[in-house]
């Protein structure tokens, strides 16, 4: 996987700074600059062959953006049970701590024999280097596949994957945005555009 060149890194860092000044949804913890993100280990041919398309599930806004990865909205208990039956190994939840307070998803996932990972994203201010690193750590674990990555609707999943694609995968900004849109990005498109150094569609 490629690291971003210096100019692209500065664009990402500048975009994140501007986003932090304009976001109306503060992070639950201080946001780390995107410069802190680390490139994930390069995949080998054997790794690529080992991961096939994740099993189909009737999940809200289901997408299959990466080998062995299903993304989408909040699964029901029945859908989690179906995921377990279909061989899913890991459930990654990007919903915020406020949203998940009082819920039992972690316990339900463990009961079904799957691994539960929480990477809380309350909004655009949480599209940080630390959260890219956290997602990279899960994606780099071959034993975690197939996996489901979800938020409430799939929007935050697509946003984080777009930022990750630019930094970790070395994608051009426009390609990273397109990848995020295919992965479920919707209302967070303008904040992601700002981070990637692209023109926003609805400037204030």
What Rg, from alpha-carbon coordinates, does the chain have? 16
Give the pLDDT confidence score for residue 4 in this predicted structure: 44
How far is it, in rounded angstroms, from Cα 79 to Cα 178?
A: 28
Q: Which residues of the chain have pLDDT under 70?
A: 1-51, 204
Whether the bond between 150 and the residue before it is cis, its omega within 30 degrees of 0, is no
Helix (H) or strand (E) holding 90: strand 90-93
| 3-class state of residue 179 by DSSP | helix
Give the pLDDT confidence score for residue 88 in this predicted structure: 98
The structure tokens 């904040």 sit at: 191
In the chain, the domains with their CATH numbers are: 6-38+52-196 (3.90.190.10)
Give the pLDDT confidence score for residue 65 in this predicted structure: 97
Give the pLDDT confidence score for residue 52 in this predicted structure: 83
The structure tokens 């990273």 sit at: 176
């Amino acid at each position: 996987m490629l690291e971003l060149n210096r100019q692209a890194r500065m664009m990402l860092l500048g975009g994140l700074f501007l986003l932090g000044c304009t976001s109306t949804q503060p992070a639950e913890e201080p946001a780390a600059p995107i410069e802190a993100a680390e490139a994930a280990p390069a995949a080998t041919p054997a790794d690529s062959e080992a991961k096939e398309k994740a099993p189909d599930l009737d999940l809200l806004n289901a997408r299959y953006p990466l080998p062995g990865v299903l993304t989408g909205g909040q699964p029901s208990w029945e859908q989690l049970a179906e995921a377990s039956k279909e061989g899913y190994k890991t459930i990654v939840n990007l919903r915020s701590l406020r949203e998940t307070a009082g819920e039992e998803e972690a316990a339900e996932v463990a009961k079904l024999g799957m691994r539960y990972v929480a990477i809380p994203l309350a909004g655009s201010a949480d599209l940080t280097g630390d959260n890219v690193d956290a997602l990279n750590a899960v994606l780099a674990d071959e034993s975690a596949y197939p996996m489901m990555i979800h938020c409430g609707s799939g929007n935050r999943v697509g946003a984080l994957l777009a930022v990750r694609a630019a930094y970790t995968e070395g994608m051009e900004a426009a390609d990273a945005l397109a990848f995020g849109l295919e992965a479920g990005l919707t209302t967070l498109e303008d904040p992601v555009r700002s981070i990637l150094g692209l023109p926003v569609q609805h400037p204030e």
